[in-house]
C-alpha cells in the first residue's frame, strides 16, 4: 500500500483544475514513475493526490494548422519514440526519451511528468530546450503558454501556479523546420540510470551545407536546471562547417555550463565531457543535415535511431467499463473504488483501496504470485505485467488505473491443461531461469517483444530487456531463449 491521504480522479482537464482548487494541498500524479517512487521513499508520504492518468485527451502527437507540433503531456516516452510525426520532424526527441529508464518505465512515464518535476537530469528537457519548446498550462484563469526556459525556475521547481496542470508541449514550426539534431546521454549504465550529463544539439545549415546558419546547444546536469549554451551558439553562427570550428564551438561551452561536484561525477569531469559531448553531437547533427563528413570520434551515445513502428491506438478508458467514483468509508476514512478489468482473459471485478498498487491487487485479490514484490520503486522489473499489450512495472501502477484494462501475467501464458508456452519452454531449455524470482517479469517482456512480429538484432534485444535487474547474472541464456523463440516464430530457425 502507498501512504497517501486521499486520491481524486479527474474526469477532464476542467475537472482536474476544479479538484486542485478544491484541494489546494493536493499534488498531481500523471504516470506515477516519480510521484509513487518518492512516496515509497517517504518524501511524499501522506500526500493527497489528483490523478490525471485517465485523461486520454492529453495523449498523442498532432500537427496544428500553423505547423506547430503538439505533444500531449500524458504521452508516454515509448509512444513519443514510435510516433510517425516525431520520427519525421524531430526524431532526436524520440531518441532522447528512449534513453529513459527501461522499457517498462518508458511505457508509464510521461513527458509532462518528466518536465514538471523540475530536475535537471530529465532526458527530455535538454532536447526540448534545443527545440525552443513552449509549455502549455491550463488553470483557473484559462490557458497560458510560456517558453520552456521560463518554465524552469530553479532545481526542482517549475512555473506551475495553484490550480494549474501542464496540458501540452508545443514545438513551433520555425523551431524545427530545416533543423537536424542529436542527443547524447552520458551515464554509468546503458539503462536504468540517471544521466551524468546530457547534451542535445540542433543545427541549421546553409543551402550549400557549408555554413552554420543556426546552432542550438542544450544541456542537462550542467547546472541546477536544463540550460542553453548561448555563448557557444553565438560563436558558431555564420562559421564554416569545419573540424576546427566544431572544436572551437565545443570549447566555448565552458562559458555557459555550471556543473557541480556530486557522488556521480566531479565538476571537472562534467566540464570535460560538456565539451566532448557537444563536439560529438555537433558532428552527428551536421552529418544528419547533409553537411560535410567530419572525422567521427568514438560513440558514447546510448540512444539509437528507432525503426518506424506501427502506432498503437490509444485505449479509450471511457468506452470500456464505466469509470466509477471513489467512495470513502465513513468510519475508517479509507477510500475505495470498484475496478472492472480483464485479467488473463477472465473478466474480474473487485473493490480496491486507492492506496494499493496493481502488484497488491494481483497478488492479494487474485493470488497471481508470479507478480513478484522486489524493489517496489520500478527498477528491478520483477513485478512486470502486460497492460493493453504493453509492459509496465505493476509496483508503480495504481490498482485503480486498471479499470477497463486488459492485464496479462505469466499465469495467462499457459494452455488449458497447463501446457507451457514456447517462450516459457525456451527459458527451461536454455537454462535461463536462474533462481526464478525475476523470471516471470522477464518472460512478460519477452512476450511483448515476440508479439510485435518483428525481428530484432541481439543488441536490440538487449535494450528491450534492459528494464530487468537480476542479481544472478547469466543474461546470455536469457537472450538465447528470446532470440531462438523469435526466430522460430518467424520461421528462420
pLDDT confidence bin for 456, thresholds 50/70/90 = very high
Calculate the alpha carbon distances from 391 to 179, 304, 351, 381, 386 in Å.
34, 21, 24, 10, 4
- Residue span(s) of the chain under CATH 1.10.150.120 come to 414-493
Distance, CA of 122 to CA of 119 (rounded, Å)? 6
pLDDT of residue 324: 63
Q: Range with the lowest mean pLDDT among 93-102, 293-302, 375-384? A: 293-302
Report whether pLDDT(401) > 90: yes
pLDDT confidence bin for 307, thresholds 50/70/90 = very low
Cell reading at 183: 542527443
Phi and psi at 3, nearest 5°, equal -85, 85
pLDDT of residue 263: 84
Cell reading at 279: 563536439
pLDDT of residue 458: 96
- Residue span(s) of the chain under CATH 3.30.465.10 come to 57-288
pLDDT cut 90: percent of the chain above it: 85
pLDDT of residue 308: 28
Distance, CA of 114 to CA of 100 (rounded, Å)? 10
CATH of domain 414-493: 1.10.150.120
Q: Range with the lowest mean pLDDT among 49-53, 202-206, 306-310, 448-452? A: 306-310
Cβ within 8 Å of residue 378, ≥6 positions away = 33, 36, 37, 101, 104, 105, 108, 393, 395, 396
Report whether pLDDT(471) > 90: no
Q: What is the pTM of this model?
A: 0.83
Report whether pLDDT(275) > 90: yes
Distance, CA of 411 to CA of 443 (rounded, Å)? 11
- Return the residue matching grid coordinates 485523461: 55
Fold of 4-51: 3.30.43
- Residue span(s) of the chain under CATH 3.30.43.10 come to 4-51
Of 31, 228, 2, 205, which is closest to residue 115 (Cα–Cα)?
31
Judge contact between 240 and 210, C-beta under 8 A: yes
Q: Give the architecture-level CATH label for domain 57-288.
A: 2-Layer Sandwich (3.30)
Q: Beta partners for 278?
A: none
pLDDT of residue 214: 98
Distance, CA of 272 to CA of 482 (rounded, Å)? 40
| pLDDT tens sequence across 160-174 | 999 999 999 999 999
Q: What is the mean pLDDT of residues 405-425?
A: 95
pLDDT of residue 301: 40
Of 380, 375, 383, which is closest to residue 399 (Cα–Cα)?
383
Q: What is the mean pLDDT of residues 114-141?
A: 96
Reported as type and span, the H/E element at residue 279 is helix 267-288
Distance, CA of 396 to CA of 204 (rounded, Å)? 41
Q: What is the mean pLDDT of residues 351-380?
A: 95
pLDDT confidence bin for 309, thresholds 50/70/90 = very low
Task: Return the number of other C-beta atoms located less than 10 Å from residue 232's C-beta.
Answer: 26
pLDDT, averaged across the chain: 91
Distance, CA of 103 to CA of 464 (rounded, Å)? 6
Q: Among the ranges 73-77, 301-305, 413-417, which has the highest mean pLDDT value?
A: 73-77
pLDDT confidence bin for 293, thresholds 50/70/90 = low
pLDDT of residue 476: 92
Judge contact between 239 and 209, C-beta under 8 A: no
Cβ within 8 Å of residue 318, ≥6 positions away = 56
Amino acid at each position: 500500500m502507498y501512504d497517501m491521504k486521499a486520491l481524486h480522479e479527474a474526469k477532464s482537464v476542467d475537472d482536474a483544475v476544479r479538484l486542485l482548487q478544491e484541494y489546494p494541498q493536493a499534488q498531481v500524479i500523471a504516470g506515477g514513475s516519480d510521484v509513487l517512487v518518492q512516496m515509497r521513499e517517504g518524501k511524499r508520504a501522506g500526500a493527497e493526490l489528483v490523478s490525471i492518468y485517465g485523461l486520454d485527451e492529453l495523449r498523442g502527437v498532432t500537427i496544428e494548422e500553423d505547423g506547430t507540433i503538439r505533444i500531449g503531456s500524458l504521452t508516454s516516452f515509448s509512444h513519443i519514440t514510435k510516433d510517425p510525426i516525431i520520427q519525421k520532424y524531430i526524431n532526436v526527441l524520440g531518441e532522447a526519451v528512449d534513453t529513459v529508464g527501461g522499457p517498462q518505465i518508458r511505457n508509464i512515464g510521461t513527458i509532462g511528468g518528466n518536465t514538471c518535476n523540475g530536475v535537471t537530469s530529465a532526458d527530455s528537457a535538454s532536447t526540448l530546450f534545443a527545440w525552443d519548446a513552449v509549455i502549455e498550462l491550463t488553470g483557473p484563469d484559462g490557458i497560458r503558454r510560456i517558453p520552456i526556459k521560463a518554465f524552469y525556475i530553479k532545481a526542482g521547481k517549475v512555473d506551475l501556479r495553484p490550480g494549474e496542470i501542464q496540458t501540452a508541449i508545443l514545438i513551433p514550426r520555425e523551431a524545427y523546420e530545416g533543423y537536424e539534431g542529436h542527443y547524447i546521454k552520458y551515464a554509468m549504465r546503458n539503462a536504468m540510470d540517471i544521466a551524468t550529463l546530457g547534451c542535445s544539439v540542433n543545427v541549421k545549415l546553409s543551402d550549400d551545407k557549408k555554413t552554420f546558419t543556426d546552432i542550438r546547444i542544450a544541456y542537462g546536469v550542467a547546472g541546477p536546471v536544463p540550460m542553453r549554451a548561448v555563448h557557444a551558439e553565438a560563436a558558431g553562427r555564420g562559421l564554416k562547417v569545419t573540424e576546427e570550428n566544431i572544436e572551437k564551438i565545443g570549447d566555448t561551452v565552458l562559458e555557459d555550463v555550471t556543473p557541480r561536484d556530486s557522488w556521480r561525477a566531479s565538476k571537472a569531469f562534467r566540464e570535460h565531457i560538456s565539451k566532448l559531448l557537444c563536439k560529438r553531437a555537433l558532428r552527428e547533427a551536421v552529418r544528419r543535415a547533409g553537411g560535410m563528413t567530419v572525422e567521427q570520434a568514438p560513440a558514447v551515445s546510448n540512444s539509437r535511431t528507432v525503426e518506424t513502428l506501427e502506432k498503437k491506438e490509444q485505449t479509450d478508458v471511457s468506452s470500456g467499463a464505466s469509470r466509477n467514483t471513489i467512495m470513502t468509508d465513513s468510519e475508517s476514512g479509507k477510500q475505495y473504488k470498484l475496478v472492472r478489468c480483464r485479467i488473463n482473459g477472465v473478466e474480474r471485478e473487485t473493490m480496491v483501496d486507492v492506496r494499493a498498487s496493481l502488484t497488491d491487487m494481483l497478488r492479494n485479490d487474485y493470488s497471481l504470485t508470479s507478480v513478484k514484490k522486489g524493489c517496489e520503486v520500478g527498477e528491478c522489473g520483477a513485478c512486470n505485467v502486460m497492460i493493453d499489450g504493453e509492459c509496465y512495472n505493476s509496483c508503480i501502477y495504481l490498482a485503480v488505473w486498471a479499470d477497463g484494462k486488459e492485464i496479462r501475467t505469466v499465469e495467462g501464458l499457459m494452455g488449458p491443461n497447463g501446457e507451457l508456452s514456447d517462450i516459457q519452454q525456451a527459458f527451461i531449455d536454455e537454462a535461463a531461469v536462474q533462481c526464478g524470482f525475476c523470471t516471470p517479469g522477464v518472460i512478460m517482456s519477452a512476450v511483448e517483444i515476440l508479439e510485435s512480429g518483428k525481428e530484432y538484432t541481439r543488441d536490440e534485444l538487449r535494450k528491450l530487456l534492459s528494464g530487468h535487474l537480476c542479481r544472478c547474472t547469466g543474461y546470455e541464456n536469457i537472450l538465447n531463449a528470446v532470440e531462438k523463440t523469435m526466430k522460430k516464430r518467424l520461421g528462420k530457425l
